[in-house]
Amino acid sequence: MEKNGLLPSLDSSIKEIRRISGGSSDVLINRFVSGGIHCALLCCEGMVSASVITELIFEPVTGIPQQKDARGLYRYINEELLLSTDRPEVNDYDTLFRLINSGFAVLIAEGMTGGLAFGVQGYASRGVQEPSGEGNIMGAHEGFTETIRINMSQIRRRLKSPELVMELLVKGSKSHTDLCLCYMKDRVPKELMERIRRSLDGLGTEAVLSTGYIRPFLEGERFEIFDTAGTTERPDVLCSKLIEGRVAVLVDGVPYAVVVPRLFCESFQTLDDYAYKPYYAVFIRWLKYAAFLTAIMLPSLYAAIVMYHPELLNSTLFMLLVEAEKKAPLSIVTESLFALIMYEMIREAGVRLPKPTGGAVSIISGLIIGDAAVNSGLISTPLLTVTALSVLCGLVVPELEPQMTVLRLAFLIAGGALGIFGVSLLACAVLVNICSAEDYGFPYTAPFSPFRSRGMGDTLVRRGIKKLQHRGFTVEEYHE
């Protein structure tokens, strides 16, 4: 696309616009005369509000008195008319098409190599609704939408501080997607912001259609099991992270925000923790840590103990398990893999199918397949119980579910091959990977490792709100 200025001839410029757009039928070109100067108003059908264009642009512009030249017309519009509060400059065709495809109307005039743009967006968008993936009881019930300006306003409405900075960027050589960097300038070091900007400058993709397109550029280069760049669809959660000195990236068209840096302990925290008494919040957090370990290690420990270490069980329990397993034609590891993979297939079908069908398919498939597998002797009842409990515990910490799914299978294979030794060996490898993970110099396991006493008041335990509010904590204290 042309990076040079607009052609001074109005007819030639319109021909060039039609050539670049390939004669696209949704690119509307309206010619008219304003102040004695031949002009054209460009917009994209479906992206603008027809009533706003008529009332705020056409009516005032067509009523402009006679002008000497196009430069005088532009000066009159800029100085005498307030047609729109959002008025970026248009100096080339690349900018022109990016703006009209974003809901702007662009005015070009005979003899000028630039244009005037006016924000008159009127495209259909989803309203603010309750987040579907981060439910809570005591907090707000508003989530991000697919419109970046609405998301920015939700953050600004909650953080009215002048220290809140929002920088708009454009990424994607084809999509020209708007990104927004959000941070508190008094809490984020300039060096960190420069590193994040450099990371985003390396975003050389043709399109940015989801947060998955930018997260790899915000994470470290080495292999890490867990994500060091988090996401959230809740404005209130994002605001709390901004106050702690984190940086967020909003993507136009995506109802999620990417947050860096992310810590391991954050996966076990929710906004409701701060609405309850500390003792109940601590109980819930410990429950989540226990559920995390149970989700990834229970099937492997079951296989390892029954196959290699039966002496760890009392005789009654051991005989019960042996009696159940001897009827199954498959090994314990094979049974477990079959049960876990079948669950993942049922879950994936429930997610991808239409909602009215997906829920019914998941329930019916689980009941029929589970009952048939047990009655036919293909899977033992204790093993199915262990598998179901492991899967249920994984749902307690939904942010880590993808990682837990893979780790559960890996631990199962290790336990089936080497017993408890294999489980311990893999656990050490995972622990080393977690402890060595970092993003922009922030250790993923902080404040546990390296130990920071000020940060421990909101991890395994949760201190009272009065103490948390006045400590002035930021994640910069974890930086190494």
Determine contact, residues 261/440, Cβ cutoff 8 Å. yes
The alpha carbon of 193 is separated from its chain's Cα centroid by a whole number of angstroms, namely 19
Provide the β-strand partners of residue 177.
171
The torsion region of residue 345 among left (phi > 0), alpha (psi -120 to 50) and beta comes to: alpha
Q: DSSP characters for 322-387?
A: HHHHTT-SS-HHHHHHHHHHHHHHHHHHHHHS-HHHHHHHHHHHHHHHHHHHHHTTSS-HHHHHHH
Please name the amino acid found at residue 179: L
Determine contact, residues 40/96, Cβ cutoff 8 Å. no
Q: DSSP characters for 405-436?
A: HHHHHHHHHHHHHHTHHHHHHHHHHHHHHHHH
Give the max Cα distance, the chain.
102
| Residue 383 tokens, joined | 């093993």
- CA within 13 Å, CB half, 111: 10
Is the sign of the CA dihedral 232, 235, 239, 240 positive or negative? negative
Pure H helices in 222-331: 235-243, 278-308, 315-325
Query: What CA–CA distance (Å, rounded) separates 47 from 447?
Result: 47
Nearest to residue 53, comparing CAs of 32, 24, 22? Answer: 32
What is the distance in angstroms between the CA of the first residue and the CA of the last residue of the chain? Answer: 44
Query: What CA–CA distance (Å, rounded) separates 479 from 476?
Result: 5
pLDDT of residue 287: 96
DSSP-derived 3-state class of residue 352: helix
Is 367 exposed, middle or buried, given 0-12, 13-18 or 19+ CB atoms closer than 10 A? exposed
Determine contact, residues 70/9, Cβ cutoff 8 Å. no
pLDDT of residue 471: 56
pLDDT of residue 480: 66
pLDDT of residue 472: 58
List, in order, residues 6 or more apart from 140 with CB less than 8 Å away.
234, 235, 236
Of all helices (H) and strands (E), which one includes residue 170? strand 164-171
> What is the number of residues in the chain?
480
pLDDT of residue 4: 67
The alpha carbon of 210 is separated from its chain's Cα centroid by a whole number of angstroms, namely 8
Query: What CA–CA distance (Å, rounded) separates 416 from 421?
Result: 10
Is the sign of the CA dihedral 392, 393, 396, 402 positive or negative? negative
DSSP-derived 3-state class of residue 26: coil
The alpha carbon of 336 is separated from its chain's Cα centroid by a whole number of angstroms, namely 32
- Token look-up 């809740």 returns 234
Each residue's pLDDT expressed in tens, for the chain with a length of 480 residues: 556 689 999 999 999 999 999 989 999 999 999 999 999 999 999 898 888 888 888 889 988 999 989 999 999 988 888 777 788 889 999 999 999 999 999 999 999 999 999 988 888 788 888 888 887 888 888 999 999 999 999 999 999 999 999 999 999 988 889 999 999 999 999 999 999 999 998 888 899 999 999 999 999 878 899 999 999 999 999 999 999 999 999 999 999 999 999 999 999 998 888 888 999 999 999 999 999 999 999 999 999 998 898 888 888 888 888 887 777 788 889 999 999 998 898 888 888 888 777 777 777 777 777 777 777 778 888 888 999 999 999 999 999 999 999 999 999 999 999 999 999 999 999 999 999 999 888 999 988 888 887 778 888 888 877 777 655 567 877 776
Provide the β-strand partners of residue 438.
443
Q: DSSP characters for 386-403?
A: HHHHHHHHHTTSGGGHHH
φ, ψ of residue 382 in degrees (nearest 5): -60, -40
Is the sign of the CA dihedral 440, 446, 449, 455 positive or negative? positive
pLDDT of residue 463: 82
The torsion region of residue 107 among left (phi > 0), alpha (psi -120 to 50) and beta comes to: beta
